[in-house]
Structure 1
Amino acid sequence: MEEEYLGVDIGGTTINLGVIQNNLIKKEDTILINKDASKEETLQSLYQLIHENLTTRVVGIGVGVPAVVDPVKGIVYDVQNIKGWKEVNLKLLLELEFNLPVFINNDANCFALGEFMYGKNKSSNSFIGLSLGTGLGMGIVINNTLYNGVLCGAGEIGMLSYKDGIVEHYTGSFFFTDYYNETAKSLAEKAEKGDEKALNVFNEYGKHLGEAIKSILYMYAPDKIILGGSISKAFPFFKESMFNILTGYAYQKQIENLIIDVSKTKGSALLGAASLCLQNK
């Protein structure tokens, strides 16, 4: 019997689940998160999603959460965008519910780990996975090892002060809704049709993302940065302005061979979450 693992990616607006077998996603499922739901209601929704995809072949569950995480105890703290999830012993709750080993990490770390392990990034010694979604998440792989920091808090680039707020206000979905009253998706659809206003918005977005990437370069000097998340699909519309900002980076020799590209790996975050189980076997 081929073993299966469940990889779960809890995002700002959805919970995504993948059934993983032989390092491939054989099935995916998604539910929406009700931002006004209570802690218990959201937990029950998560339980139901897992139950609906559970088989006797499943031997472990890995979960990525947009929060700081104690990866040993499996406790998540201050989960972004989920009401009431200030301190949740998620590992214990899921293990009691499903009687399976459960492993928890930060969602951006799971994306970076999945992209590094299953994408074309094995030659990279200093790898960054950057998730462009509701916020801006970052995972760091150094010398083939995911770097967690204390409570999986390393790489919270989105929380750095920037302009009149923080970085992710200008590099996540907030930028489009708060400043232009439209979603990134709707603006991307307009940009596809050559809409000048939409193209200008993405041009501005690329500048902000470029500034964030400059900070990453100064801190970590990676040789590869892979972009994921829903906004990364609009990469052609902000690529040029992003790279233009990097011409102002102080150490040009350092980034002569730097690769910045969009993920081409299907379900990196789900694969990364499931791989937590394999790493802890």
Structure 2
Amino acid sequence: MSDKKLIGVDLGGTTIKFAILTDDGKIQQKWSIRTNVLDEGSHIVPDIIESINHHIDLYKMDKSQFVGIGMGTPGTVNRQLGTVIGAYNLNWKTSQPVKEQIEAGTGLKFAIDNDANCAGLGEAWKGAGNDGDDVVFITLGTGVGGGIVANGELVHGINGAAGEVGHMCVEPNNGYQCTCGNYGCLEQYASATGIVHLAQDATEEYVGNSPLKEMVDNGEEVTSKDVFEIAQTGDYLANQVVDKVCFYLGLACANISNTLNPESLVIGGGVSAAGAYLLDRVKNNFEKYAFPTVRTSTVLKLAQLGNDAGVIGAASLAKQFD
């Protein structure tokens, strides 16, 4: 084990999170800045460079103390070239030479990967995955993303699209249309936006009394958090929605696990804040559809690292330079 430090960067559309970690993954310092997406996102990389250099000086550290920088980003990543394209929430429509610019601006080695992959690496290394070699991570937020660690390595696929679990088809007949153009993707049923869509449709067909129906009928803004909280009070309609969500998610977890048989399948993201109420129902469906050997060997868990998963996983990318 080296006594050198790692820098992790988690680039999001609203906030850029940073952390300085020990070589074995302990966060020593962390901070964040707002993401400036103006002028086609041209301020983002200079802001990252300036913030890293400023904090190294602030903490009276020397660049020789660092192994390198790892970063997770939205969009399509070319890991070899260190470029990103198609990160629309960053206004990055054209290819961005991120690695070249950050290495030139900081003097440190730099590695980059998809943000969901980095969160998966973080949970596999220091979170619920318990540093296992075979871990699948599913993140339930505005969309549904994933990261797959097999034999201790991230799985990228031929064109970097491995781990796109949100686009697994779980409703092939008359499924909701997804932003990807297909129908019936998991993202349309288990993301925060998908859960609200399910709730609105279920409300239209429901004739009984329900706090959830009342909210929808009154035109109030309903969130996935509202759906789960109302369900926990025993509301029949809200529980119907939660049961559907957990059916689709449990089916997807079984299909993924039947293919990969990971040691752990970790569920994170904002929707996972529903905790055991979500996990227990997902497990019931997982056990229904999982292959017997998988059912008794793959363990479904809730993520443990919260917002730190991305920076921890990103920092681990820099370990290749150690």
TM-score by length of 1: 0.83
How far apart are 1:278 and its partner, in Å? 1.1
Aligned residue number for residue 18 of structure 1: 19
Letter paired with 1:76: V
- CA-based RMSD of the aligned residues comes to 3.0
Aligned residue number for residue 194 of structure 1: 233
Q: Which runs of 5+ in 2 are unaligned?
A: 179-184, 200-220
Q: Deviations over 1:217-275 (max 9, x none)?
A: 23322231112222222222322331232243152233212201012246232111111
Find the aligned partners of 1:222 and 1:77 in 2 and give their Cα distance: 31
Find the aligned partners of 1:186 and 1:42 in 2 and give their Cα distance: 34
Q: How does 1:24-173 map to 2 (within 5 A)?
A: 24-33=26-35, 38-47=40-49, 49-55=51-57, 56-58=61-63, 59=66, 60-79=68-87, 81-119=89-127, 121=129, 124-162=132-170, 163-164=175-176, 165=178, 166-173=185-192
Q: Which runs of 5+ in 1 are unaligned?
A: none
Find the aligned partners of 2:239 and 2:53 in 1 and give their Cα distance: 43
Provide the identity percentage: 26
Instruction: Choose between structure 1 and 2: higher strand proportion.
Output: 1
Q: Is the 8 A contact 2:137 2:266 kept in 1?
A: yes
Number of aligned pairs?
A: 279
SS at match of 1:61: strand
Distance 1:8 1:151, change over 3 A: farther
Q: Is the 8 A contact 2:141 2:191 kept in 1?
A: yes
Q: Is the 8 A contact 2:198 2:241 kept in 1?
A: no
SS at match of 2:315: helix
Distance 1:184 1:78, change over 3 A: same
How far apart are 1:185 and its partner, in Å? 4.4
Q: Is the 8 A contact 2:69 2:110 kept in 1?
A: yes
Letter paired with 1:227: I
Q: Is the 8 A contact 2:168 2:252 kept in 1?
A: no
How far apart are 1:146 and its partner, in Å? 2.3
Query: If you compute each CA radius of gyration, which structure gives the higher value, 1 or 2?
Result: 2
Find the aligned partners of 2:35 and 2:255 in 1 and give their Cα distance: 32
How far apart are 1:86 and its partner, in Å? 4.2
